[in-house]
């Protein structure tokens, strides 16, 4: 049947380039899972070669691939419509333009990680809610432009969600609202992860907190595993 899964995310694979991906694409046309997280020499061209030759691809991890833009994930979405797992965490060149296209083309998407994608906003969340009704796992940590309005538009259309990872949503009050919205709409929720403390130079005010004591009754009422993270 040929190779179906390739992981090139290890330290020994750091030199991987578009040329190497081209060899993979031509040699492994039944590829279903590809992990190239952290491969900073890979660009949109490399993804275009994968998309052209590996239409059966179902899982793709391009975390921290700084050379990948909207153009690259559009190649994948256009040719790999059966994609179910996509991780683009810390890909700073990916925006709503690319993610909305993914949502529209890859309607079977079940797991999405957009942690640290600063150019993603409520527009993308709305598209996910409209198109990706099978979504089960989403990571929204450190996505500064999203609001609880966007989260509500997404979760109202993704009833299968079981795992939700949230960051600080603007401030303490809005984060609490976002958490309550998730719990209200996600009847199958099994795991909820959220940050109650965030210190970053990119955020106005520098320090944002959610008082854990105020969450007591709320957390105790959940029939889910809850994890609170300090992100310093």
Residue 53 neighbours by CB distance under 10 Å: 20
Cut 0.85: pTM above it? yes
* Below-50 pLDDT ranges, the chain: 199-212, 214, 230-232
Q: Name the residue ranges covered by the structural domains of the chain.
A: 1-85, 95-232
**Fold for the domain defined by 1-85:** 3.80.10
pLDDT at 205: 32
One of 3.80.10.10, 3.90.320.10, 3.40.50.300, 3.40.50.720 is the CATH number of 95-232, namely: 3.80.10.10
Query: Distance between CA atoms of 179 and 22, rounded to whole angstroms?
Result: 43
pLDDT at 229: 54
Query: Distance between CA atoms of 122 and 99, rounded to whole angstroms?
Result: 11
Q: Taking a C-beta distance cutoff of 8 angstroms, is the pair 106, 81 a contact?
A: yes
pLDDT at 231: 47
Say yes or no: do domains 1-85 and 95-232 share a fold: yes
pLDDT at 190: 86
């Amino acid at each position: 049947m040929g190779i179906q899964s390739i992981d090139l995310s290890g330290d020994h694979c750091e030199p991987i380039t578009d040329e190497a991906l081209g060899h993979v694409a031509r040699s492994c046309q039944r590829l279903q899972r590809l992990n190239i997280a952290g491969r900073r020499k890979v660009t949109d061209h490399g993804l275009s070669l994968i998309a052209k030759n590996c239409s059966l691809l179902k899982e793709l991890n391009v975390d921290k691939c700084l050379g990948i833009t909207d153009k690259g994930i559009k190649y994948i979405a256009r040719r790999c419509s059966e994609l179910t797992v996509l991780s683009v965490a810390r890909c700073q060149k990916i925006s709503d333009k690319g993610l909305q296209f993914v949502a529209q083309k890859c309607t079977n998407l079940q797991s999405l990680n957009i942690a640290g994608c600063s150019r993603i906003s409520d527009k993308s969340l709305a598209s996910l809610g409209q198109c990706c009704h099978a979504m089960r796992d989403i990571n929204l940590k450190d996505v500064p432009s999203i609001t609880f309005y966007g989260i509500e538009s997404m979760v109202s259309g993704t009833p299968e969600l079981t795992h939700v990872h949230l960051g600080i949503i603007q401030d303490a009050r809005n984060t609490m609202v976002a958490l309550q919205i998730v719990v209200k709409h996600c009847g199958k929720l099994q795991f909820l992860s959220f940050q109650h403390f965030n210190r970053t130079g990119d955020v106005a005010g520098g320090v944002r907190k959610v008082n854990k004591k105020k969450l007591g009754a709320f957390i105790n009422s959940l029939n889910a595993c809850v994890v609170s993270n300090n992100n310093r």
